[in-house]
Chains A and B, each alone.
Chain A
């Protein structure tokens, strides 16, 4: 089937899509957007988190056909350019605090934190932990990530 959607502000089209494949697969393998990561394919890790019609979702659990006609923003769509100053404040805060080690969890976390701060500009620590409960990181131990969110909230 053909899937057409608006991705990071641009109308994109993918052909010969198997309807049962995931939006994550379409983004990574068909549209050349490898930002969202594939770590578990079962909704547990959050590394594939993207905005679908404005809500963060696990793109591994959205059927390609369900994304047709929808609007998607991936981590690639959050920066306004490639320079460091054009990164989103959440991305800058992750860099500044060392919240990135292997980086596999980072794109999903960036989208989840971006959404959290859009809804709640000054989250408490429990609010941050709750909002990030669906994103696993196997490297950092989360403390640097907490620091990054606090920094992003005040920058």
Chain B
């Protein structure tokens, strides 16, 4: 097995172009499990931990651009105020040891329907920046996932970064699991409320073949919320929102939970995150 270790981004893209079958490795928290258990024997590993620009973040016009190699630990420590929903999701990932290594780029690379970053990125309306020696493109995260563990990323491409609005609205995230740490989500939900544009963003995790949005639920809430008065959210509105979120999921029965349970739990998470986010905006409880 070859071990490719580019020291900058141009070299990394050239290496991926020359070895499209090389498996990129960042935090290694997905890749190494597969290697340790002999589930894969790639011809080459492409180590991205020596590419400094992947660890950068900064503003890019109205957007915040965060390098694919930024770890959950750093998202929590450095960026909680700028990507509040993603930081909440990051706190639920694995354990401290995992969060010290694992990256959002790796979560997107694995593209698991249960990846915890995905609902938060969907709710925030993120873009994924993909690059190859052919050029760079920014794909809305809503178009990024195409199936379980599959994305639009081509074999010669690497994930450079993801981008979110530089001024976030109120963002919340909640996840159901058997313990407070080290759990793959049974289901998860992320919500974003933009007090200026009155836009509502949603993301559903672990309840479909890909991470999903709840478009109908979001449109309903955007039209109904008392944005101007910030008055209390009527119970009927919250319930309807929850039901629409549950209906948007496409869950299956599996070892972690039944489809019915997931739909029910998502409705609960939707109502709870709505109450939290509305309070964040100064809305009446």
Query: Which residues does A use to contact B, with CB under 8 Å?
Result: 1, 18-20, 22, 41-44, 46, 49, 55-58, 60-63, 65-66, 68, 112, 115, 130-131, 133-135
Known: A43-B97, A66-B49; 8 extra A-B contacts, CB below 8 A, are A22-B32, A41-B36, A41-B37, A49-B97, A58-B29, A61-B32, A63-B25, A66-B25
Q: Closest chain A residue to B101 by CB distance? A: A57
Query: Which residues does B use to contact A, with CB under 8 Å?
Result: 1-3, 5, 25, 27-29, 31-33, 35-37, 41-42, 45, 47, 49, 73, 94-98, 100-101, 180-182
Selected from B1, B2, B32, the residue in CB contact (under 8 A) with A62 is B32
B residues within 8 A CB of A65? Answer: 3, 5, 45, 47
B97, A58: Cβ atoms closer than 8 Å: yes
B73, A55: Cβ atoms closer than 8 Å: yes
A residues within 8 A CB of B1? Answer: 18-20
In angstroms, Cα B97 to Cα A42, docked, is 12
Interface centre among A43, A44, A57 (most CB of B within 10 A): A43
A43, B94: Cβ atoms closer than 8 Å: yes
Mind listing 10 A-B residue pairs with CB under 8 Å? A19-B2, A20-B3, A42-B36, A42-B37, A56-B97, A57-B101, A63-B3, A66-B47, A115-B96, A134-B181
Known interface pairs A19-B1, A41-B37; A134-B94 also in contact (CB < 8 Å): yes
B163 to chain A, nearest CB (A): 26
Selected from A22, A46, A56, the residue in CB contact (under 8 A) with B36 is A22
A12 to chain B, nearest CB (A): 18
A69 to chain B, nearest CB (A): 8
A residues within 8 A CB of B41? Answer: 20
A53 to chain B, nearest CB (A): 10
Interface centre among A18, A49, A61, A135 (most CB of B within 10 A): A61
B152 to chain A, nearest CB (A): 27
A26 to chain B, nearest CB (A): 13
A134, B101: Cβ atoms closer than 8 Å: no
A residues within 8 A CB of B96? Answer: 56, 112, 115, 130-131, 133-134
A43, B100: Cβ atoms closer than 8 Å: no
B182, A44: Cβ atoms closer than 8 Å: yes
Known interface pairs A18-B1, A44-B182, A133-B182; A112-B32 also in contact (CB < 8 Å): no
Interface centre among B33, B37, B41, B97 (most CB of A within 10 A): B97
In angstroms, Cα B3 to Cα A18, docked, is 9
In angstroms, Cα B100 to Cα A134, docked, is 12
A19 to chain B, nearest CB (A): 3
Interface centre among A22, A42, A57 (most CB of B within 10 A): A57
In angstroms, Cα B38 to Cα A22, docked, is 13
Which 8 pairs between the two chains have the least Cβ-Cβ distance? A134-B95, A133-B181, A19-B3, A65-B3, A41-B36, A61-B32, A55-B100, A134-B97
